[in-house]
Amino acid sequence: MSIWVLCAGLVFATIAIFTVHIASQWERDVILRFGAYNRMAGPGLYLTIPFIEHVALKADLRTMLTGFSAEEILTSDLVPVNVDAAIFWMIWDAEKACMEVENYYDAVSMAAQTALRDAIGRNSLSDVTVHRDKLDQELREKIEEKTSSWGVSIMSVEIRDIVIPKDLQDTMAAAAKAEREKDARIVLAEVEKDVAAMLHDATDIYKEDELAFKLRQMHLVNQSLRESSGSLVVPSAYAEGFVEKASGKAAPTHE
C-alpha cells in the first residue's frame, strides 16, 4: 500500500468525521454556517459542510430535573430559613436556547435561585410552611417569565424541604402547644355553657312537674346501680316518695 493511498484514506476519514453526524431521538442540533444560524438537524443522520458549517449546540429535549437551594433566607417576618427545591423543565425551542443564552442549564438554575429568594422574602413563615402549593405555583410563574425567551418551558417547581433553626423550632412548638391548650379551654367553656343552659331548662321543667323530677331521680339511681361494681346504699325515700307520688296518696308520718 503506497503512501498516497494512506494519505487519501486519512483525508477521507477526516472529511467523514467533520461531515457525517448522528443525533439521538431526543436531540436537536443547531447548525451554523459561517457563524450564522442555518438550520436545525436531527434526529438521525445528517451531513454538514466541513470548515463551513459546524454544530453549535446539541439540545436535549427531554424533561430535565434541576435541584436548587437557598440558605439563610429571611421571610417577611424576619425568620431565617433554608429551603431546598427542585424544578422540572424542558427545551421547546433549541434555536432560542442556543442564541439567546450562553448556557441554558446554568441560566435556569440561577433564575430559579433568584426567584426562590424573592418569593421567600415576600411571604411569612406560616405562608411558606403551610401554603407550599401556592408558593410552588408562584415560583413556576416567576421563573418562566425569564426562561420563556430562552426557549425553555417550566413544567413544575416543588419545594422539597424547609429547615428552621433549632431554637426557633422549640419556640414555635411551645407557641403551638399553648395555642392548642387555649383552643381546648375555649371548647370546654363552650360545652360548660351549653350544659348549664340545658340544666337551667331542665330545672324549669322539674319545678312545674314534680313527677318528672322523681322519675329523673329513679333513673339516676338505676344508672348508678348498673355502673357500680360494689354495693350501693339507696335511701328508701327515693322509692317511697316516687310510689306515693304516682299513686296520689300522702306519705305516712312516722313518729
Give the residue from 93, 91, 99 showing the smallest Cα distance to 36: 99
Same-domain status, 224 and 210: yes
Predicted pLDDT at 141? 92
- Cβ neighbour number for residue 159 with a 10 Å cutoff: 19
Q: According to the model, what pLDDT value does residue 70 have? A: 84
Domain presence at residue 22 = yes
* pLDDT at res. 40: 92
How many other C-beta atoms can be found within 10 angstroms of the C-beta atom of residue 69? 16
In total, how many domains does the chain have?
3
- Residue 55 and residue 74 in one domain: no
The amino acid present at 49, given as its one-letter code, is I
Domain boundary among 133, 164, 195: 164
Model pLDDT, residue 225:
66
pLDDT one digit per residue (tens) for the chain, 255 residues: 678 778 777 878 888 888 888 999 999 999 999 989 999 998 999 999 888 998 999 999 999 999 988 888 888 888 888 899 999 999 999 999 999 998 999 999 999 999 999 998 888 887 888 888 888 999 999 999 999 999 999 999 999 888 887 777 666 666 677 777 888 888 888 888 887 788 777 777 767 766 666 666 666 666 666 666 655 555 555 555 545 544 444 444 443
For residue 157, tell me if it sits in a domain. Answer: yes
Q: Is the domain of 8 the same as that of 77?
A: no
In DSSP terms, which residues pair with 112 in a beta bridge?
none
Name the CA radius of gyration of the chain, rounded: 41
Distance CA 116, CA 123 (A): 11
Q: Is residue 96 part of a domain?
A: yes
Based on the domain organization, do 138 and 69 belong to the same domain?
Answer: yes
Residues 193 and 135 in one domain: no
Structural domain including 54 reads 3-59
Same-domain pairing of 55 and 83: no
Instruction: Note the pLDDT of residue 51.
Output: 84
| Cα distances (angstroms) measured from residue 151 to each of 39, 114, 136, 145, 207 | 16, 19, 21, 11, 84
Same domain for 97 and 149? Answer: yes
Q: Is residue 150 part of a domain?
A: yes
What pLDDT was estimated at residue 253?
42
Task: Quote the CA–CA distance of 24 and 6 in Å, as a whole number.
Answer: 32
Examine residue 239 and state whether it is found in any structural domain, yes or no.
yes
Q: Residue 81: which CATH number?
A: 3.30.479.30
- Asked whether residue 180 is assigned to any structural domain, the reply reads no
- Domain identity same for 83 and 144: yes
* Helix intervals (H) in the chain: 3-19, 94-99, 104-121, 125-130, 132-147, 166-208, 210-227, 236-247
Q: Is residue 141 part of a domain?
A: yes
Residues 6+ apart with CB under 8 A from 23: 29, 41, 42, 43, 44, 46, 58
* Domain end call among 164, 194, 221: 164
- Final residue belonging to a domain, choices 19, 36, 59: 59
pLDDT at 184: 82
